Amino acid sequence: MTVPQFTKHYATPERAAGAVRHYRWINEHAKPLRQPALYAIGPDSLTFERIEGHSVRPEDLPRMAELLGHAHGAAWASDLQSASLGSPHRFQDGTTFDDYLGPRQIALRRRHEQGYLPSKVALYAMLGLLEETAQGPFAFYKDSNPRNFIITSTGDIVTVDTDDLSLAPMGYDLAKLIATLHLTYGPLKAQAVNAALLAYNAAAGSYGARLGATDRERLDDFLALHAVLTAPYIGRNGYRYSWPLRSHLRGT
């Protein structure tokens, strides 16, 4: 029987090689995340097992929060205890994936240039919030939007599109999932968000007491950052609902 496959093409061989490194890193250090089998590596393409199913929906949030908690806790226990949010993370072969602060500082300045942050005061408020959230313990960020997970007909959750990884504080990638579920399906109830945070903390905390300490205030800080960072994508990629930026701009 022929196994269904999917070939993904990359702009450069370097991008393809980086995607392979990140795929292998997830398999080694974040074992709770199941990824499609990688069948072939070309100069600028990768061929994966094709996974059939649906993307994450609001009702899947509790399971997803628990999965992310286990993945982040496992990665911290395996490889990230000595990481620094201000420095790229180094692989054993000497290559790296991005740090938390640098790329997001650049992105926030770009949002100001694009008009999503209305003033320099607003920009500096968000840069300050970013600095404030740069605290350990450390996890990784893989852009946990609903389309980057597939739930199969048997209920398995498969993680796709791990091409780009960066360091991030615990809870930051959970906030990305919550934010993008809001953008895709509309506002989530506070009870659902709080339950997801509890599930995430319980799962992460099983790998170390410090890992289960993300509180709602810190989650809201991450949501404020994601509101600005995702602003250009409203109306694209299935993001039909806006997020009120002004409520998140402290000091403006």
Domains of the chain with CATH codes? 52-248 (3.90.1200.10)
Please state the rounded mean pLDDT for residues 106-133: 96
Tell me the Cα Rg of the chain.
Answer: 18
Judging by beta carbons within 10 Å of its beta carbon (0-12, 13-18, 19+), is residue 49 exposed, middle or buried?
middle
The Cα 237–Cα 175 span in angstroms is 18
Contact 49, 39 (CB under 8 A): yes
Here the tokens at position 76 are 């911290």
Does residue 250 carry a pLDDT above 50? Answer: no
Quote the pLDDT of residue 237: 82
Contact 108, 123 (CB under 8 A): yes
Does residue 75 carry a pLDDT above 80? Answer: yes
Does residue 245 carry a pLDDT above 80? Answer: no
Residue 58: count of CB within 10 angstroms of its CB: 18
More confident residue, 63 or 4: 63
The Cα 139–Cα 126 span in angstroms is 21
| Residue 71 phi, psi dihedral angles, 5° rounding | -65, -45
Please state the rounded mean pLDDT for residues 206-211: 94
Give the whole-number percent of the chain exceeding pLDDT 90: 79
Q: How confident is the model at residue 10 (pLDDT cuts 50, 70, 90)?
A: very high
Angle at the Cα of 209 (from 208 to 210), degrees rounded to 5? 95
- The model carries a pTM of 0.93
Quote the pLDDT of residue 1: 61
Does residue 51 carry a pLDDT above 60? Answer: yes
Average pLDDT, the chain: 91
Please report, as a single letter, which amino acid is at residue 158: V
Does residue 62 carry a pLDDT above 50? Answer: yes
Q: Which helix (H) or strand (E) holds 125?
A: helix 120-133
